[in-house]
A = this chain, B = another copy of it.
């Protein structure tokens, strides 16, 4: 039996739904309609219903979606009903900020390892995480069976570092280096680059 293939663009919206739903739960709400959820996210009610219906029937006519139930389902679908160990490569400004970030813990992730090549940084402890020598990266990541990495190294070494990560079992890379990584089929890469976002926005700005 073939599991139906869900469009990636649908999958990409699920974390947004989860975040909004979690926020609503904190606000003490119990039920939400597709219309209300859509209004918060700037997404049409029809799209939300269509997206969610790809995974099951989570709502009830007349009342909408039970927030704790929908949250549970989204957490399960996104596979964050467990904690993923994550490696951070690079302990510069970005890597350090990631190591210190408190938002991972409660959303399915834990920074389990932190690497740098600078002898001045190796051995330091950031938020309880020791900075290890990047020379030991491959061995330690393979031992830890880590599948997720955040790449915060200089652009010049990003591709080679990614290659090494993939070679030892990493399957998902969140790339903070301002380069396009070339990876083989089956490896997920997402990219975070503030300059890209800023340039996208300035297109629409009027000079002042």
Give A contacts to B, CB under 8 Å: 11-12, 14-16, 18-20, 23, 40-42, 77-80, 82, 84, 86, 93-94, 96-98, 100-101, 103-104, 107-109, 145, 147-148, 150, 171-172, 174, 178-180, 182, 188, 190, 192-205, 207-208
Contacts and interface: CB of A to CB of B under 8 A. Distances in A.
A79 B198 CA distance: 11
Contact of A15 (B15, B77, B78, B195): B195
Q: Is the interface of A mostly helix, strand, loop or mixed?
A: mixed
Q: Which A-B residue pairs are the 9 nearest by beta carbons?
A: A93-B97, A172-B201, A15-B199, A190-B197, A188-B201, A15-B196, A79-B202, A107-B195, A78-B199
Nearest to A202: B79
Number of this chain's copies in the complex: 2
Contacts of A103: 178, 194-195
A109 B198 contact: yes
Contact of A108 (B179, B180, B202, B208): B202
A80 to B, nearest CB: 6
B108 A203 contact: no
B172 A19 contact: no
Nearest to A100: B93
Given A104-B195, A107-B198, 13 more contacts: A19-B179, A40-B182, A41-B180, A78-B200, A79-B202, A82-B207, A101-B194, A103-B178, A103-B195, A145-B208, A148-B201, A171-B205, A192-B197
A25 B12 CA distance: 33
